[in-house]
């Protein structure tokens, strides 16, 4: 096709290709979900319908984007880890982040009524933001997920105490137990530890040429909310895996 005289404006676009051969991590987070959760009468501190809807939306993202290996969700956020070798959109950052955010958000609304059965759709359109972060090795990747899961735990302990006590308090576990008959460690894992979605692994023999070893089996012990994580002994992060068999913890 012949170029129009206006074509030059395309040259104003910046190259935002992400560095090759490093992990791409995309995290999305709900905008103003403190208010959104109040407006939609989420159970406090943890509305399990809302968490399951988040998980469903994340599963939709993983179905669409094959190069996502693992995803972790808590509260109004979700993290998606892409394989190092992904060439999705030639690694263009804006395309990758905007696609994840858009797909997640539309799925969240699309599946809303499956989880909030008393309403056909949310009272107003929910908004999610997104960012990409690059991590050079499995050390940072594992620490990243440990960081997010520590956040889940700290927030949940605070929130559980807050909603029980009406205020912050020292020695929350003890007070919860003695005064509120709540054994914190017995609360559902989906509240304490978040959710993990893991692409099902395929046997090693089928991937003799796989080069990058074993992130799932070496994830921190604190991630053990998902049995599939700790039991995936024949996996490597850089394998290509066809069908997402997505499991989430705490359900
Ligand atoms: P920002 O736009 O800066 O992200 P925010 O209000 O979304 O602001 P966050 O730090 O992301 O703040 O916190 C999300 C809030 O959403 C939580 O503090 C909690 O009040 C609420 N929330 C999210 N998921 C749930 C849930 N499953 N059950 C109950 N409340 C939830
Ligand atoms: P990519 O993912 O690369 O954007 P694409 O299939 O979306 O691929 P575009 O160049 O964005 O390709 O073109 C969008 C296409 O969507 C159009 O070529 C047309 O076929 C279709 N389309 C969009 N809007 C309409 C409309 N209102 N009526 C009919 N067809 C439409
Ligand atoms: Mg935030
Ligand atoms: Mg938020
Ligand atoms: Mg948040
Ligand atoms: Mg298009």
pLDDT in tens, 116-132: 999 999 999 999 999 99
Does the annotation flag 30 for ligand binding? yes
pLDDT at 238: 41
pLDDT tens by residue, 90-117: 999 999 999 999 999 999 999 999 999 9
Asked whether the predicted pLDDT for residue 3 surpasses 70, the reply is yes
Show me where the domains of the chain are located: 17-149+189-231
Residue 166 has pLDDT above 80, yes or no: no
CA atoms within 13 A on the CB side of 158: 6
Task: Tell me the pLDDT tens digit for each residue of 194-233.
Answer: 999 999 877 777 655 544 334 443 344 343 333 333 323 2
Q: How far apart are CA 118 and CA 145, in angstroms?
A: 34
Residue closest to 25 by CA, chosen among 171, 135, 180: 135
Sorting pLDDT into bands at 50, 70 and 90, what band is 26? very high
Distance from residue 60's CA to the centre of ligand 2 (Å): 22
Average pLDDT, the chain: 84
The answer to whether 162 is a known ligand-binding residue is no
The answer on whether 40 is annotated among ligand-binding residues is: no
181: CB partners within 8 A, 6+ apart = none
pLDDT given at position 14: 96
Rounded CA-CA distance 91/17 in Å is 5
Which protein residues have a CB closer than 5 Å to ligand 4 (ion)?
Answer: 29-30, 33, 76
Asked whether residue 35 carries a pLDDT value surpassing 90, the answer given is: yes
- Fold that domain 17-149+189-231 belongs to in CATH: Alpha-Beta Plaits (3.30.70)
Question: How far does the centroid of ligand 2 lie from the alpha carbon of residue 199, in Å?
Answer: 30
> Does residue 149 register a pLDDT over 70?
yes
Q: Which residues line ligand 1 (CB under 6 A)?
A: 29-34, 37, 42, 44, 46-47, 50-51, 75-76
Rg (the chain; Cα; Å)? 20
pLDDT at 192 over 60: yes
- Integer Cα distance of 82 and 66 in angstroms: 9
């Amino acid at each position: 096709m012949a170029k129009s005289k206006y074509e030059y404006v395309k040259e104003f676009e910046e190259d935002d290709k992400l560095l090759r051969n490093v992990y791409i991590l995309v995290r999305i987070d709900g905008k103003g979900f403190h208010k959104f959760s109040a407006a939609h009468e989420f159970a406090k501190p943890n509305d399990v319908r809302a968490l399951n809807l988040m998980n469903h939306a994340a599963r939709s993202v993983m179905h669409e984007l094959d190069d996502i290996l693992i995803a972790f969700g808590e509260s109004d956020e979700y993290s998606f880890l892409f394989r190092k070798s992904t060439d999705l959109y030639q690694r263009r950052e804006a395309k990758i982040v905007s696609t994840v955010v858009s797909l997640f958000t539309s799925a969240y609304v699309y599946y809303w009524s499956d989880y909030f059965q008393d309403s056909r759709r949310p009272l107003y359109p929910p908004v999610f933001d997104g960012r990409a972060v690059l991590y050079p090795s499995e050390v940072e990747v594992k620490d990243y997920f440990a960081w997010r899961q520590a956040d889940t735990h700290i927030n949940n302990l605070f929130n559980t105490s807050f909603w029980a006590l009406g205020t912050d308090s020292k020695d929350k576990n003890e007070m919860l137990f003695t005064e509120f008959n709540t054994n914190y460690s017995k609360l559902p894992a989906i509240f304490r530890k978040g959710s993990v979605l893991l692409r099902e692994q395929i046997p090693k023999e089928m991937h003799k040429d796989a080069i990058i070893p074993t992130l799932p089996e070496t994830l921190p012990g604190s991630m053990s909310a998902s049995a599939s994580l700790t039991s995936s002994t024949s996996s490597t992060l850089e394998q290509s895996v066809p069908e997402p068999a997505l499991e989430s913890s705490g359900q």
